[in-house]
């Protein structure tokens, strides 16, 4: 088969490539493939948009690769405590909609990132993500891209993802939460880097129901273009290449076993930060940095019972407009009724604070009254980028899809441990102001791999010096028609959710691809 564009991977980044290229070149033939199945009636929709609970659970199970049964209900704290006790298993470490890269007990015990996971489905991890889209702060900006160019790409990314800070209505509790966060943060922050509602990728209707952004939203009218095709259950096993050009992609339908070679003018690999380098490695495209500089921010998490008297005092002193029906009229069983951001802002606050407000407890806790409001506090911090932190690809062993098996090297340096402790100390200040920390959800450093925010494995750079895989337009060094996309392209350590940045980098990359097509 001949096509103009082959996109491998159907998550938010792959969908962004398809949308922008289709808008600019509607006559271009675009084929998108994904190794995973279609998991719901609507292609690529977020599982939180599925109102029927059984249908949502079915969609999550279909995303779990070799794991064909539901995971047991387990809290964040229970997961961390089990890891500390050495009780390592897929049921403990993975979450609904994902599956561990290594799910055998011995592999998990020997894996330095025990919780490293992925989703295998149309829409990728984008049908399960939190939709959090904070703007990167000082210390998280990619220094090799001019600031004005990155700002323009970030603005376009927000448009594509439908980012808003008005996803959740105001309430006495939300006003209290923001006041406490800003009280702790102080006034030395950069402009617009105060505590605020989390920018979220979603739209709300007139009664407050949210429709969360995923591949279906991003693609939009691209799905109606007769020159666009999306195939599920279709894996790319190898990219054939010669003289710096991909000349054919060997693909296979996992269900039927049918094999085919795709000839494309442009090939974009946007599988995820693990399977993108895996495919390049399997294709004998092996820059020195491929799979190296694997990064993920450490994550400290805890739960607090919000002090009712505190809320009462704040409410009496401030006029709070609140429409309770917008909170009560929600389709899912998700207890979250507010998400807040304490932005990364070095040096004043060199961490990323993500705060979730829930109107009933999402886990087994010492809280007996479900009417009590619970606040979940997650603090992420920077981890140093090191060449030695990497994916190790096997020359002989295969994963469940028959691709090179992966293992991982990942360690915290002394500087990393000091940064984690500093994040823990700051979080403790916030906890003390909120109220009573919940015993069963007490402050814990989550196991490596938990955040799902993996970066650096196909990192970009400004020259082909062995320290990067692609240039600043995501074009693989030495290739005229091969591009990579996703969180793996981010070349620096970040503490915040990376999807907005990855989509912005895809926006920038599309400019180069459209230029080549012309």
Q: Alpha-carbon distance 13 to 27, whole Å? A: 21
Per-residue burial over 442-460, b if 16 or more Cβ lie within 10 Å, else e, is ebbbbbbbbbbbbbbbbbb
- Residue 339: strand pairing partners: 356
Q: Alpha-carbon distance 96 to 230, whole Å? A: 25
Count of CB atoms within 10 A of residue 467's CB?
16
Integer CA distances (angstroms), 165 to 111, 217, 290, 397, in order:
38, 18, 36, 46
Q: H or E segment at 179?
A: helix 172-185
Residue 142's closest CA among 484, 468, 517? 468
Residue 117's closest CA among 95, 99, 91? 99
453 catalytic per annotation:
yes
Distance between the two ends of the chain, CA-based, in angstroms? 21
Q: Is residue 201 within 8 Å of residue 48, measured between CB atoms?
A: no
Instruction: Please give the backbone phi and psi of residue 118, each rounded to the nearest 5 degrees, phi first.
Output: -150, 170
DSSP 125-165: GGGTS--B-PPP-TTTS-TTS-HHHHHHHHHHHHHHHTEES
Count of CB atoms within 10 A of residue 202's CB?
23
Q: Alpha-carbon distance 518 to 515, whole Å? A: 5
Q: Alpha-carbon distance 127 to 144, whole Å? A: 31
Q: Alpha-carbon distance 277 to 123, whole Å? A: 19
Q: Is residue 36 within 8 Å of residue 119, measured between CB atoms?
A: yes
Q: H or E segment at 505?
A: helix 499-517
3-state secondary structure 312-354: HHHHHHCCCCCCHHHHHCCCCCCCEEEEEEECCECCCECEEEE
**Percent helix / strand / coil, the chain, rounded to 5:** 30, 25, 45
Of 189, 357, 453, 473, catalytic: 453
Q: Alpha-carbon distance 234 to 256, whole Å? A: 10
Residue 381's closest CA among 431, 428, 417, 409? 417
Q: Alpha-carbon distance 213 to 271, whole Å? A: 18
The residues annotated with a catalytic role in the active site are 453
């Amino acid at each position: 088969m001949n096509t103009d564009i082959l996109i491998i991977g159907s998550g938010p980044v792959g969908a962004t490539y398809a949308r922008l290229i289709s808008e600019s070149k509607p006559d271009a033939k675009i084929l998108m493939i994904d190794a995973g199945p279609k998991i719901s009636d609507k292609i690529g929709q977020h599982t939180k948009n599925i109102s029927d609970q059984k249908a949502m659970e079915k969609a999550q199970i279909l995303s779990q690769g070799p794991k064909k049964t539901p995971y047991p209900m387990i809290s964040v704290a229970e997961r961390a405590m089990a890891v500390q006790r050495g009780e390592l298993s897929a049921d403990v470490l993975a979450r609904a909609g994902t599956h561990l890269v290594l799910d055998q007990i011995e592999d998990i015990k020997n894996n330095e990132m025990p919780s490293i996971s992925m989703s295998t489905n149309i829409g990728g991890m984008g049908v399960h993500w939190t939709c959090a889209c904070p703007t990167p702060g000082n210390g998280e900006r990619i220094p090799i891209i001019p600031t004005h160019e990155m700002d323009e790409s970030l603005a376009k990314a927000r448009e594509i993802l439908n980012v808003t800070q008005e996803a959740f209505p105001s309430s006495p509790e939300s006003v209290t939460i923001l006041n406490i966060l800003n009280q702790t943060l102080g006034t030395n922050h950069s402009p617009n880097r105060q505590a605020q509602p989390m920018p979220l990728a979603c739209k709300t209707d007139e009664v407050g129901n949210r429709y969360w952004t995923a591949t279906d939203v991003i693609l939009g009218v691209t799905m109606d273009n007769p020159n666009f095709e999306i195939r599920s259950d279709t894996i790319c096993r190898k990219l054939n290449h010669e003289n710096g050009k991909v000349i054919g992609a060997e693909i296979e339908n996992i269900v039927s076993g049918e094999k085919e070679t795709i000839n494309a003018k442009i090939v974009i690999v946007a599988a995820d930060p693990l399977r993108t380098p895996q495919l390049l490695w399997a294709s004998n495209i092996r820059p020195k940095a491929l799979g190296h500089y694997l990064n993920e921010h450490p994550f400290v998490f805890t739960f607090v019972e919000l002090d009712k008297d505190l809320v009462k005092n704040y409410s009496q002193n401030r006029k709070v407009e609140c429409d309770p029906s917008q909170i009560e009229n929600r389709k899912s069983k998700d207890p979250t009724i507010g998400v807040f951001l304490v932005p990364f802002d070095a040096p004043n606050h060199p961490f990323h604070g993500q705060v979730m407000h829930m109107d009933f407890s999402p886990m087994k806790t010492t809280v007996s009254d479900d009417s009590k409001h619970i606040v979940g506090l997650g603090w992420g911090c920077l981890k140093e980028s090191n060449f030695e932190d990497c994916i190790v690809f096997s020359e002989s062993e295969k994963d469940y899809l028959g691709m090179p098996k992966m293992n991982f090297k990942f360690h915290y340096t002394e500087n990393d441990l000091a940064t984690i402790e500093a994040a823990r100390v700051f979080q403790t200040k916030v906890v003390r102001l909120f109220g009573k920390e919940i015993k069963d959800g007490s402050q814990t450093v989550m196991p490596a791999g938990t955040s799902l925010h993996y970066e650096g494995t196909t990192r970009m750079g400004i020259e082909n010096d062995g320290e990067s895989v692609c240039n600043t337009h995501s074009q693989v060094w030495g290739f005229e028609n091969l591009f990579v996309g996703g969180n793996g392209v981010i070349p620096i350590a970040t503490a915040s959710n990376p999807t907005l940045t990855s989509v912005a980098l895809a926006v920038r990359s599309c400019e180069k691809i459209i230029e080549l097509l012309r």
